[in-house]
A and B are shown apart, each in its own frame.
Chain A
Amino acid sequence: QKEVEQNSGPLSVPEGAIASLNCTYSDRGSQSFFWYRQYSGKSPELIMSIYSNGDKEDGRFTAQLNKASQYVSLLIRDSQPSDSATYLCAVNPKNTGNQFYFGTGTSLTVIP
């Protein structure tokens, strides 16, 4: 079983819609959760981090964490063509001093 699992997609949404990206993880003791955006040919860019159950909002992005279900999601409101990228979920099982496990990513295309 992989540490972090994501739907590989591709996921297509029309411009202006809400894109929903999902991620599950296997280590119940995980403390830190991250979403990275990676444009084609570029490096992963940190866009959201979340550490406690519930929602965390930053502009058009909302991260949702449910530790009981071992589930973390990313919602993108008012999707724009510039949001088209691969989104990587990452989990740090211990808050500091440990490796970061990455999912394989979900490819998102926002259709104008």
Chain B
Amino acid sequence: DAGVIQSPRHEVTEMGQEVTLRCKPISGHNSLFWYRQTMMRGLELLIYFNNNVPIDDSGMPEDRFSAKMPNASFSTLKIQPSEPRDSAVYFCASTVVTRQGNEKLFFGSGTQLSVL
């Protein structure tokens, strides 16, 4: 199993540019989460999808942020226009429901975003 795959691993861009982060969840997982991690605020949930449908986007900081999940194997998080305060590590995660009916969250390797 390849795990949750994110790209790019690192992104350096200038303020005002559009940034697109990509995620491929683990095959068979039906929920996908986007988190942002900073030293000051820790891990923050931005949005999550269940069966490709956005369920809770209350964590999306502003209209500059948008996320899509066009199919079960792909999701994007877009920031347009980007600002220096968006600099953080962005994690994608997906969940599987165990035989006991419990849910476990698995993370991708993250995208380190630096907005200059």
Contact = CB atoms under 8 A, between A and B. Distances in A.
Interface centre among B42, B45, B48, B108 (most CB of A within 10 A): B42
Nearest to B59: A99
Contacts of B91: 43-44
Interface residues of A, number: 22
Nearest to A102: B43
A61 interface: no
A51 interface: yes
A34 interface: yes
Given A95-B101, A96-B101, A97-B50, A103 B106 contact: no
Contacts of A42: 109
B18 interface: no
Given A43-B107, A43-B109, A88-B43, A100 B33 contact: yes
Interface string A46-71: 10010100000000000000000000
Contact of A105 (B42, B103, B104): B42
Interface centre among B33, B43, B97 (most CB of A within 10 A): B43
A90 interface: yes
B102 interface: yes
B42 A102 contact: yes
B14 interface: no
Nearest to B56: A99
Contact of B42 (A43, A46, A96, A104): A104
B116 interface: no
Contacts of A101: 45
Interface centre among B31, B33, B55, B105 (most CB of A within 10 A): B105
B110 to A, nearest CB: 5
A34 B105 contact: yes
Given A97-B50, A99-B33, A34 B101 contact: no
Given A43-B108, A46-B106, A96-B97, 12 more contacts: A32-B103, A42-B109, A43-B91, A45-B107, A46-B104, A88-B43, A95-B103, A96-B102, A97-B55, A99-B45, A99-B56, A102-B42
